[in-house]
Amino acid sequence: MILLNLKSMCTRKGLSVTFLIVFLCLPLYPQTQETDYYNLQNTLKFSDFLIRTRQYELAAQELERAAFLAPGNRGVQLKLLKTYRLGKQYHQSISTVERLYMNRLMEMPAEFGKEYLRSLILSGDYDRADYFIGTAGNLEQADRNNYTLSILLLKRNWEEARAFAAENLPVNMRLAGIAGESESIRYKSAGLALAMSAIVPGSGKIYTGKWKDGLISLVFVAANAYQAYRGFNKHGIESVHGWVFCTLATGFYAGNVYGSYKSARIYNNRLDEALQQKALDTFRSGL
């Protein structure tokens, strides 16, 4: 009897707690059912979060849904284009603009035109970008100048970039400064490096800043040449020892001469790459 009474009390207590929970949560149930997490407002909020956390591909997917929910909304469209660009989906951005404006590319609003240009330039399509700069109707002169100068810098046309920055105003001062920096680049002469190593093995590489490579080349060529000399001096022109080391010395010598020429080219390319990267960082940061 005692056990039955205890069981009955526990059962009544459990039921009371259950009814209490149901009673408290019941008003919330319809609200939860009515919440639409996929409406335009929530989709845009979620896309903002994804952009802030640099999840650009997922953000673009959310904004594609937003563009479907709000066709013709320019704010959503422009945000989608920017997100494509930030996620390096340049071709997707370009094709979206061309789909939106089709035969009216030259008449598109300035903000869309600038976004279109950014994606063209970042994708390396400089010819189309140049054409658009020259024919677009809604771009301001400052924008035309800045995008043209950016293209020249990214193509490493340093001399032309300096002339353009000097003759066309207004222009972004950071880009103009990069163009000015190009004048102070000091290249190494590939021909001189080749000639130096032809005379003194390894000296061409030392000239391009590769001291270790230059010294190693000098040692290898000199050591093999000396061994070839010893062989020929001891056994004459028919010396196998002499011919083996002569062949090695010749191979190292030829490789050293070509390597010095190539080293100068690589050195110069690194200088260009560093300045080009600076221009690219400036362009990406916004003009």
Average pLDDT, the chain: 86
Contacts of 91 (CB under 8 A, 6+ apart): 119, 123
Share of the chain above pLDDT 90, in %: 61
Token pair for 234: 């001891």
The better pLDDT of the pair 79, 7 is held by 79
C-alpha to C-alpha distance for 152 and 148, rounded to whole angstroms? 6
C-alpha to C-alpha distance for 95 and 79, rounded to whole angstroms? 15
pLDDT of residue 150: 97
Q: Which residue has the tokens 């050293």?
A: 256
Decide: 223 and 233 in contact? Cβ < 8 Å. no
Of the listed ranges 47-56, 149-158, 201-210, 225-234, the least confidently predicted one is 225-234
Q: Would you place residue 236 in the very low, low, confident or very high pLDDT band (cuts 50, 70, 90)?
A: confident
Share of the chain above pLDDT 70, in %: 87
pLDDT of residue 9: 43
- pLDDT of 18 strictly over 80: no
pLDDT of residue 232: 78
pTM, rounded to two decimals: 0.78
Mean pLDDT of 202-219: 90
Q: Classify domain 40-132 at the CATH topology level.
A: 1.25.40
What secondary structure does DSSP assign to the chain, as a single string?
-HHHHHHHHHHHHHHHHHHHHHHHHTTHHHHHHH--TTSHHHHHHHHHHHHHTT-HHHHHHHHHHHHHHSTT-HHHHHHHHHHHHHTT-HHHHHHHHHHHHGGGGGGS-HHHHHHHHHHHHHTT-HHHHHHHHHH-SS--HHHHHHHHHHHHHHTT-HHHHHHHHHHS-S--HHHHHHHHHGGG--PPPHHHHHHHHHHSTTHHHHHTT-HHHHHHHHHHHHHHHHHHHHHHHHHGGG-HHHHHHHHHHHHHHHHHHHHHHHHHHHHHHHHHHHHHHHHHHHHHT--
Q: At what angle do helices 173-181 and 158-167 cross, to 10 degrees?
A: 140
Phi and psi based region of residue 136 (left: phi greater than 0; alpha: psi -120 to 50; beta: remaining) = beta
Token pair for 188: 């190494």
Decide: 100 and 77 in contact? Cβ < 8 Å. yes
Q: What is the largest CA-CA distance in the chain?
A: 123
Q: Would you place residue 6 in the very low, low, confident or very high pLDDT band (cuts 50, 70, 90)?
A: very low
Query: How far from chain centre, in Å, is Cα 44?
Result: 27
Give the model confidence (pLDDT) of 54-103 as tens digits: 999 999 999 999 999 998 899 999 999 999 999 999 999 999 999 988 87
